[in-house]
Amino acid sequence: MINNKIPVAEDDRNLLDTLKYKLLRNKRYILYVGLITLVILLAGGILWSSGTQRLSANAVNMRVEPWYRGPEDAPITIDLFADFKCGICVEQERMAVQAANDFKGRIRLVYHHYPDAPLSEMIAEALEAAGEQGKFWEMHDRLIDNTQGDIYQVIQAAESFGLSVEEYTISKLVTEAENIGLDITQFTECLVSGRFIEKVRTAKQEAVSAGVEHASVFINGKEFRSIPATYDNFYATVTEELEKIGANGGDRE
């Protein structure tokens, strides 16, 4: 008989139980915030008739410092408003990271938290915990790497087979923390204590105030939307933005 339960050491059981309780407790909060967000979007008049979001001036005045990668004077800024339970969002984040490699020195990535569920909040907290140890982007890239199963694929697989999504997600986070050489005791203590939860939630609310309606990616302040959402289209959009300002294109072979 196949055992579909994730192997968990006895010493980790308290960690799992604590984090699962925390996720259940936060579900009511997420529902409340979702309703408030809808009211803000409607009352604030930031639903664009064109169907494409643009960042307001508030995006550069956020109190919660985002995470950066790339030169400050880069001609292209790509803002990532991330929710790791959103498959399209994870795919677009991969595109953004690939573009930063193909357009070396011409792209600045800016990461913002935009979780829409307690599980997404915990993943955001894990990134902050990694950032506390100087490895935010290493953790970020591991979570979106689909060569070994990205975080969204792990969640989807657990849901498809009726397994514990919470346990599989926690296991993925701890495994990747180990892979990038984090102090696991410090990392898990951050998750259990909820030290970064208010930072994550405030970042989400500030993003809403800046005109962000859902988890998405912005290229120089304009939401990237493409059907199909392929890397070729993403690359072309970045190239077009560079051409507008007379900058060189990418180094893609």
CATH at residue 29? 3.40.30.10
In a domain, 1, yes or no: no
Which pLDDT value is given to residue 245?
87
Nearest Cα residue to 111 out of 87, 132, 140, 150: 140
pLDDT band at 204 (very low <50, low <70, confident <90, very high): very high
Q: Residue 84 falls within a domain, yes or no? A: yes
Least confidently predicted of 14-23, 91-100, 183-192 = 14-23
pLDDT band for position 16 (cuts 50, 70, 90): low
The fraction of the chain above a pLDDT of 70, given in percent, is 75
Tell me if 251 is assigned to some domain. Answer: no
**Considering its fold, how many domains does the chain have in total?**
1
Torsion sign over Cα 107, 112, 117, 121: positive
Q: Is the residue at 5 inside a domain?
A: no
pTM of the model: 0.80
108 sits in which H/E element: strand 107-113
Q: What is the mean pLDDT of the chain?
A: 83
User: Which tens digit of pLDDT belongs to each residue from 98-131?
Assistant: 999 999 999 999 999 999 999 999 999 999 999 9
The answer to whether residue 116 is domain-embedded is: yes
Is residue 59 included in any domain, yes or no?
Answer: yes
Two tokens, residue 100: 């930063």
pLDDT of residue 34: 43
Where is average pLDDT lowest: 68-77, 177-186, 205-214? Answer: 205-214
**CA–CA separation, 129 and 124 (whole Å):** 9
Residue 63 domain boundaries: 11-242
Please tell me the predicted confidence (pLDDT) of residue 148: 82
Q: How many CA within 13 A on the CB side of residue 37?
A: 23
- 26 belongs to a structural domain: yes
Q: H/E element holding 178?
A: helix 165-179
Among the ranges given (61-70, 124-133, 142-151, 157-166), the one the predictor scored with the smallest mean pLDDT: 61-70
For residue 206, being part of any structural domain is answered with yes
Q: Give the model's confidence band at 40: pLDDT under 50 very low, under 70 low, under 90 confident, else very high.
A: very low
Rounded Cα–Cα distance for residues 18 and 193 (Å): 10
